[in-house]
Structure 1
Amino acid sequence: MPTPVIVSAVRTPQGKEDGALAGVRSEDLSIPLVNELLSRTGIDPDAVEDLLWGCAQQRGEQGNNVARVISLLSDLGEGVPGSTINRWCASSAEALMRAADAIAAGQREVLIAGGVESMSRVPMGENTHNVHPRLAEHYNIGELQMGMTAEKVAEEEEVSRERQDEYALRSHERAADATDSGRFDDELVPIETDDGAVTEDEGIRRDTSLETLGGLPTVFKSDGTVTPGNASQVSDGAAGLVVTSREFADANGLDVLAEIGAHEVVGVDPTVMGIGPVPAVRQLTERTGRATDDYDLVELNEAFAAQTVYCQRELGFADDTFNVNGGAIAIGHPLGASGARLPVTLVHEMNRRDAELGLATECVGFGQGAAIEFHRG
């Protein structure tokens, strides 16, 4: 069976809501990545068999099968089809999983997978009034709001406000250190705007502190614990990877960043959607016969500190292997891009540390979880 491998992995810097990238359409966040992936690998665009691109809010500027628009406007051109994929927060993880499966099945040999979201230009909240009315027969719709699910996890799993703020500070400190020391340099592709090039993640708060975080008001419940400081940021960004068969990579002299291994998706109670990584990882390790401490590095999407702290604790991930360069609380969480951003950051860090086994996992709105493992060596 062919082995799917990653031969290049890049991402944009991630912009804050209404920030540096708010003037850039989703297609124009994605096109430079696709072109850079082709440039770095030297792969002829005609060899690429499909563009699989995740996007959570597929309406407005992100409608019209945004993946196909990207292929038409990028160096891929008319001959490369495109499919826009939605598993909400794991949309681009789903794109990567589909790419890996197609190659493992022998159906494809060269694919580009990734995703994008401009949460400034296509706001998430506009979908609220379109929820199917029958859902209200089963759930309190207000409790399905992402922040309310985090409040429920914090309460049920006893994750205190103080612990959430401590974790948020850790995310900013690690992301700032990764940025300042150049650890993100290999994965970042600058994005040109009317105000100049954006070259680094905009949301990292180098000057934050526990005192500052502790002074922020709660957002979703007056007596709650979730604040703007211990939740992921509303963001704009894109991420992408070139996935080929091992045979194609070897035949074309391409360096392999990592093999794509087993993957898993699960469904959970949507009122505690943040717990999704726990059963996803457990089912993955059960199928592969691994233990969670077999993973040298782990990236989790960090939607909220409450669910991140719970998942890390429940799965037993060591702090020195877990989100080592910070996460979405500092870097940002553009929904359709995050499932690819995690593997992009992960495989570069795996190569930097000579790590053999990595894991990327996400919680997903409305109650899902996803997990993918990556191998080197």
Structure 2
Amino acid sequence: MNPAFILAARRTAVAPRGGAFRAVEAHDLAAPVLRACLDDAGVAANPVDYVILGNALSGGGNVARLAALAAGLAESVPALTLDTQCCSGLDAIQLAARMVESGAADLVLAGGVESFSRSPLRAVRPRAKGEPPLFYDRPPFTPWPARDPDMIEVLAHAAKGYSRERQAEFAIASHAKALAARARLEAEIVPVAGLAFDSFTRALTPALCARAPVLHRDSETELDAAGVAVEADAAAVVLVASRAWAERRLKAGRPVCEVAHARSFAAAPDDPPAAIDRALALAPFPPGRAIPVVELMEASAGQAMTNAQRAGLDSAAINRGGGALARGHPIGASGAILAVRQFHELTREASGALGLSAIAAAGGLASLLMLHRL
């Protein structure tokens, strides 16, 4: 099997739903990021073999193809859009790595894009004449309604054992890390619609968290809006390449990461955290070797703390530039943002350093990507 490498990684800023990207279509978010990855790697558009983008909300069609054409890629470059909800962006990168490893491609642009702001209204077609369409916010994630919990219920379950104050501390720390890292975060961002920084990040305080609306409360836990990632718009892409392209990049003195491990996981559909627990438990961590860079999805503070604790991850390595609590959660792009962050954080480490990205999705799915800095 041929190894796969990442030569470049870029993203847009993350903007809350209805914010700076409220008028930007999903493909127009992704197009400049595709272009930036090629420019960073010094690769012309024509050699690209494929474009793969994750997306959950576009309502059909092939947003990856629109983005590729809008980016000026050759019309002969095929494109694929996939939907595994929150895992979509990381799964797209995994699929790109598999294409390179199999010898089916040498250069693949992969990642994710999401626009909550421009997502279409969704409705089920009437079954009988005279019935109105039935609008819905999300599709079913299992064929069994009794085993298809609301996501707030899932996040509340993951928060059990953590007080509201402890969750607030985690959220505050996420924002603080993002503020402290703003300069290096902006270096990976492609400006779109005049926005060049993650606009949701703020100096969060215990007082602000205490005033946040309560989303769930029962006898075992309490969940508020400060501890849950907001709906957002963004795009993130990496350039996955074969050894020959990686060697050219290394000779030019530019950073390259090898895909050390990439895998998808599944567990009980009504217990989404179980899948990411399994992913982290089966990750091939080298015995006795530290992993300095961990990009762990922060769908909520409780979920992130639970995953980190169960996997025994070093808190100092987790989300060094802040996480989704400080940015937002653009579903199809969130996993790809983790990969972009992992790549850029690894470029600050010595050769040989390992990084990890992990994310879970509704329906009992999870995805994991490990990179090795060359």
**TM-score, normalised by the number of residues in structure 1:** 0.89
Q: Give the aligned partner of residue 277 of structure 1.
A: 276
C-alpha distance in structure 1 between counterparts of 2:309 and 2:318, whole Å:
11
Say which of 95, 104, 108 aligns to 1:107: 104
Contact 1:257 1:348 in 2 (8 A): no
Distance 1:292 1:128 in 2: 46
1:296-345 CA distances to partner (integer Å, 9 max, x unpaired)?
A: 21111100111101011111111111111110001111011111111111
The verdict on how the C-alpha distance between 1:94 and 1:212 changes in structure 2, with shifts beyond 3 A counting, is: same
Offset of residue 215 of structure 1? 2.6
Is the alpha carbon distance of 1:294 and 1:132 closer, same or farther for their aligned partners in structure 2, counting shifts above 3 Å? closer
Structure 1 residues 311-322: aligned runs within 5 Å: 311-322=307-318
Q: Is the CA contact 1:274–1:303 (under 8 Å) kept in the aligned structure 2? A: no
For 1:132 and 1:367, locate their aligned partners in 2 and report how far apart those are by CA, in whole Å. 9
Q: Tell me which moved more, 210-219 or 113-122.
A: 210-219
Larger CA deviation: 296-305 vs 32-41: 32-41
Select the residue among 157, 161, 166 that pairs with 1:163.
166
Distance 1:302 1:280, change over 3 A: same
CA distance in structure 2 between the aligned counterparts of 1:161 and 1:149, rounded to whole angstroms: 16
The one of 131, 154, 157 equivalent to 1:152 is 157
Q: Please list every run of 5 or more consecutive structure 1 residues that lacks an aligned counterpart in the other structure.
A: none
Cα pair 1:152 1:271 within 8 Å, conserved: no
Check if 1:84 corresponds to 2:81.
Answer: yes
Matching residue of 1:257: 256
CA separation of 1:372 and 1:129: change in aligned 2, threshold 3 A: closer
SS at match of 1:101: helix
Q: Please tell me whether the aligned partners of residues 28 and 70 of structure 2 are also in contact (alpha carbons under 8 angstroms).
A: no
* Contact 2:142/2:269 (<8 A) preserved: no
- Structure 1 letter corresponding to 2:167: Q
Q: 2: distance between equivalents of 1:43 and 1:240? A: 15
- Indicate if the aligned counterparts of 2:142 and 2:363 stay in contact, CA closer than 8 A: no
Question: Is the contact between residue 141 and residue 363 of structure 2 (CA under 8 Å) also seen in structure 1?
Answer: no
Q: Percent identity?
A: 29
| Other structure's SS at 2:40 match | helix
Residues 197-208 of structure 1: pairs in structure 2 closer than 5 A: 197-206=194-203, 208=204
1:254-302 residue CA offsets vs partner (Å, 9 max, x unmatched) = 63431111122222233332343221021222xxx63596322111110
One of 312, 322, 328 as aligned partner of 1:326: 322
**Number of residue pairs matched?**
358
The equivalent of 1:185 in structure 2 is: 186
Query: 1:123/1:314 Cα in 2 relative to 1: closer, same or farther (>3 Å)?
Result: farther
Alignment partner of 2:223: what SS?
Answer: coil
SS in 2 for 1:30: helix
Q: Once the two structures are superposed, what CA deviation does each residue of 1:193-248 show, in whole Å capped at 9, x if it has no partner?
A: xxxx1110011022x21122023231134665211100011100000011101222
Structure-to-structure mapping, 1:218-257, within 5 angstroms:
218-221=214-217, 224-251=221-248, 253=251, 255-257=254-256
Corresponding residue for residue 354 of structure 1? 350
Distance 1:123 1:89, change over 3 A: farther
2:304 aligned with 1:308: yes
Distance 1:28 1:183 in 2: 24
Match of 2:12 in 1: 12
* TM-score (normalizing by structure 2): 0.90
Is the Cα contact below 8 Å between 1:5 and 1:256 reproduced in 2? no
Quick check: 2:186–2:196 contact (8 Å CA) kept in 1?
no
**What is the aligned partner in structure 2 of residue 32 from structure 1?**
32
Q: Deviations over 1:56-91 (max 9, x none)?
A: 1240xxx31111111122121311110001111010
Q: Provide the rounded CA distance (Å) in 1 between the counterparts of 2:364 and 2:30.
A: 28
- Paired with 2:61 and 2:307, the residues of 1 have a C-alpha distance of 36
Q: Following the alignment from structure 1 to structure 2, what is the Cα–Cα distance between the partners of residues 242 and 347?
A: 11
Provide the secondary structure at the position in 1 that maps to 2:245.
helix
Matched residues in 2 for 1:133 and 1:232: separation?
Answer: 23
In structure 1, give the amino acid aligned to 2:33: L
Structure 2 residue matching 1:198: 3-state secondary structure: coil
Bigger helix share: 1
Q: Please list, as runs of the form range in 1=range in 2, the aligned pairs for 1:17-96 lying within 5 A after superposition.
A: 17-59=17-59, 63-96=60-93
